[in-house]
Amino acid sequence: MEELKDRLEDHLVRFTDMLRKQGVKAGTSELQEALLALRYIDPLCKTSFKSALKATLVKKPSELEVFEKTFNRYFVPATEKEKQLEKGWEKEANYREKKKMAEEELKFKEQQLNLKEEEKMVYASLASRDREKIKSFIRDSEQGKKVDASFKPLIESLVKSTLRYRKERVSHVERRPEPVTGDPGWDWMLSSPEPGNNSSASRLLNSDFKDIAEKDIPRVVELSRKISMKLAKILSRRYKLTYKKKKLDMRKILRENISYGGYLVKLKYGHKKKKKLRLLVLGDVSGSMDRYSSFVMTFIYGLSWAVKEVECFVFAEGTSRMTSCFKKGLSFEEVMNRVMQKRVEWGKGTNLAQALERICLDYPGWLNSRTLVIVVSDTRTTHLEDSLQKLQFIKSRVKDVLWLNPLPASQWEEFSSVEKFQHSALMYPCSCLADLEEVFRYNMKI
């Protein structure tokens, strides 16, 4: 019995650790609580056991899915668990093999090309005919006169742009799951979707905008509507004034205390009238950025229900005003369609400087402490120094500048522009609806 108890405790510690590594905030006290809770239930009854752990280890709705998934994979018979782990390891081996193949095939003058892991996997996902084309391009380049190893960066850059172009056309690029448990087998196992839960709202909430399939777009737009309307509802609520950090209002105090014979019994506080917020949105729509900007703008359309003044612009090589797409009474689908239709007018390159310049020249009235500027871009732009200067100028005049960057935070250090823009804006990784909700909740104090 003692042995069984020890084993159960060991498993519980390991299980809690796994939850923790996936972002569930289960500390030692929660673990102790879970162990204590097991005293009051029959630990051999799986339903009770699961409910007891859920009640004590999970503290937020967002953690429920992680818990369910991890529990359903962890607390299974040993043989099944081994089978699942084996599958995970097979996937890992397959992934490594593909990566190795890409590394071996993409060599210039016997030296490996310096490519990112994702680029290698794009290459591995291509049809053999397309792979052959890239290989023959490298081979032909090697044959050129006076071509030596110093040409490698140029070849790398050309291969990278080919892969970037191909990536848009490949249906699926394998991605290694984020290392959370330290065991790749477990990581693959936990990253696989729950059976029968393929189109759950939470999956769509956390899906990168660029990976959302066409058929799922209406559902994502609907989810976006729900979230933004919920935030708008909270924003528009007229809260009762609190008594904190306010100045005493002597006039009001005297009036209030007349009924107490002039004794100052009740204190009254003055308050500053809150200025209404305005949103100025600048969305980058060059290349693959258009999807992110379209979703962000549709989301902001929902907020415009509470934030009366919103101005939206999209920029690539030129800038267009999009506020006209936000006509009141339109459905979210209509707004999304209008924004998406505008895509054809947008160029491929990015010039943030000219967009900022246009704001400064044509909308100087918007550059004041009531305005919150939101930039949606991956920071890759021409005229970088000019853009930085203009952004600094705008930042000094407005309430704040939020920068929604669709690049994952782990990749930020690869781009010097990210660091530079971070000096003038509060930058957040934002590639899915869940990120968007978090950023707005946090920054608008919702």
Partner 1 sequence: MIPENVSDLQRCLKETGYICGEETVLTVFLALQLQKPLLIEGAPGVGKTEMGKALSRALNMELIRLQCYEGLDENKALYEWNYQKQLISIQLSRELQKEHLSENDLFTEEYLMERPLLKAIRADQKVVLLIDEVDKCDHEFEAFLFEVLSDYQVSIPEMGTTEARNIPVVILTSNSERELSDALRRRCIYLYLDYPSPQREAEIIKQRHPQVGEELAESVSRAVEVLRRDEKIQKRPSIAETLDWVNALVELNRNELSPTLVENTLNLVLKSHRDQQVFHQETGAHKLLEQV
Q: Please give the residue ranges that form the binding site for partner 1 (CB under 8 A).
A: 25, 27, 29-30, 33, 36-37, 40-41, 47-48, 51-52, 54-56, 58-61, 64, 219, 222-223, 226, 229-230, 234, 239-244, 260-261, 263, 265-266, 441, 446
The residue (of 4 and 241) whose beta carbon lies closer to partner 1 is 241
Closest CA to 291 of 232, 194, 224, 234: 224
Q: Are strands 371-376 and 278-284 parallel, antiparallel or unpaired?
A: parallel
* Residues in contact with 157: Cβ distance below 8 Å, sequence separation at least 6, in sequence order: none
CB of 229 to partner 1, least distance (A): 7
Structure-token pair, residue 440: 């707005």
How many CB atoms neighbour CB 42 within 10 A? Answer: 11
Question: Nearest distance from residue 336's CB to partner 1, in Å?
Answer: 14
Q: How near is the Cβ of 240 to partner 1 at its closest, in Å?
A: 4
Residues forming a β-bridge with 76: none
Name the residue with tokens 């049809």: 127
Least distance between partner 1 and beta carbon 77 (Å) = 22
Helices then strands, counting H and E runs in the chain, come out as 18, 8
Alpha helices in 106-242 (DSSP H): 117-125, 128-143, 152-167, 184-191, 201-205, 217-236
Query: Which of residues 51 and 324 has its CB atom nearest to partner 1 in the complex?
Result: 51
CB of 67 to partner 1, least distance (A): 10
Distance of alpha carbon 435 from alpha carbon 403, whole angstroms: 12
Closest approach of Cβ 218 to partner 1, in Å? 9
Return the number of the residue (62 or 320) whose C-beta is nearest partner 1: 62
Picking from 404, 398, 389, 323, the residue whose alpha carbon sits closest to that of residue 353 is 389
* Residues 6+ positions from 41 with CB-CB distance below 8 Å: 48, 49, 51, 52
Of 226 and 268, which CB lies nearer to partner 1 in the complex structure?
226
Q: Which residue type sits at 138? A: I
Q: List, in sequence order, every residue forming a beta bridge with 248; answer none if it has no partner.
A: 269
Closest contact distance (angstroms) between CB of 55 and partner 1 is 4
CB 185 within 8 A of CB 88: yes
Q: Which is nearer to partner 1, 40 or 110 (CB)?
A: 40
Alpha-carbon distances, residue 366 vs 160, 276, 302, 385 (angstroms): 40, 13, 21, 23
Q: Which amino acid is at 163?
A: L
- Of the two residues 219 and 397, which places its CB atom closer to partner 1 in the complex? 219
| Residue 376: strand pairing partners | 283, 404
Looking at the Cβ atoms of 164 and 266, the one nearer to partner 1 is 266
Q: Pick the closer one to partner 1 by CB: 234 or 384.
A: 234
Burial class from Cβ neighbours inside 10 Å (0-12, 13-18, 19+) for residue 377 reads buried
CB of 189 to partner 1, least distance (A): 25
Min CB(6)–partner 1 separation in Å:
22
**Nearest residue (CB) to partner 1, 79 versus 198:** 198
For 408, the token pair is 């994952």
To partner 1, the closest distance from the beta carbon of 253 in angstroms equals 14
C-alpha–C-alpha distance, residues 345 and 339, integer Å: 11
Of 45 and 127, which has the nearer Cβ to partner 1? 45
